Amino acid sequence: MKTQLLNIGFCLLFFVCQNCTANPDNKDEIGIEPARKTIVEKNGKLSVKEGQLVNERGEKVLLKGVSFGWHNWWPRFYNADAVAFLSNDWQCEVVRAAMGVDPERGYMRDSQFSTECLTRVVDAAIENGIYVIIDWHSHVIHTAEAIGFFQEMARKYKDYPNIIYEIFNEPERDSWSDVKTYSEEVVNTIRAIDKTNIILVGSPHWDQDIHLVADDPIVGYNNLMYTLHFYAATHHQFLRDRGDYAISKGLPLFVSECAGMEASGDGPINYDEWYKWVGWMKKNNISFVTWSVSDKDETCSILLTTASSNGNWSDSNLKEWGKMVREEMKAP
């Protein structure tokens, strides 16, 4: 009798399991909401096709996200909870880990601390199914150190489709010839280990001389894109014209840093120019990342000092720029 009851129990359990498997989206019957696919589950490994960022099915992709501030000054935000909040509440599709290279506590002076901060963000982005930019946040060339760093990152993360490498944040005074030579060496280093993940290449003059790059791009490598940075109160139509020229030459663009105020990061928000830029990026299917997750006393830092280190930020924790960024992230 006991054996018969056990057999009946196993049969009932099998029936229930089969029913759940056959009807995973039927909330009325089983009372479970189907899991929402992450942005990486939807798009998989990214690549560049005909000057555009595309997903693994060859469909155009436009990513929107937020950059963390310099890790050496705002390490308190470099944690898994903050990343999860930006992913789940703000609906960011990409975050940028801006690892400072030159200042105190930057990579050149404390590589272990710098790498630990960055990898916390990268690991959390992978866990939450969003894309993440590994940003060598420097204004000058450090070829040997960059090669060592990106070798380490490529070995650690080469098998994850979430990864985007940004090999030079904003070249300040170097010519495109010098930046190109540096970039070719670092790109070659990454490609020896990671054959396919996207690599972002900087352009001279704080990523504004994109027209010069368009006339002499790097050749011989796949899945390269070039960064254009703008601050809307300083950079107006002239820089969009340079972007249009680069696009006309087939150069793949990615706006890895942008904001609505002056290039200093401070001053009033220029709403008119900001929305012109947003319209231009969407028209041209250009992914963009806004600056920044930090609480510095300046317009472009999205948080007030009252904000917790771990997300869960309410309106009372956000500056006006933070509220604008959140609204844009959550917009379709």
**Positions marked active-site:** 170, 257
Helices 111-128 + 143-157 axis angle, to 10: 30
Closest CA to 326 of 119, 102, 90, 131: 90
3-state helix, strand, coil in the chain (%, to 5): 40, 15, 40
Measure the CA–CA gap between 297 and 226, rounded to whole angstroms: 30
Measure the CA–CA gap between 208 and 170, rounded to whole angstroms: 9
Residue that has been written with the tokens 């249009």 in this structure: 244
Please give the torsion angle defined by the CA atoms of residues 220, 221, 223 and 225, in that order, rounded to the nearest 10 degrees: -70
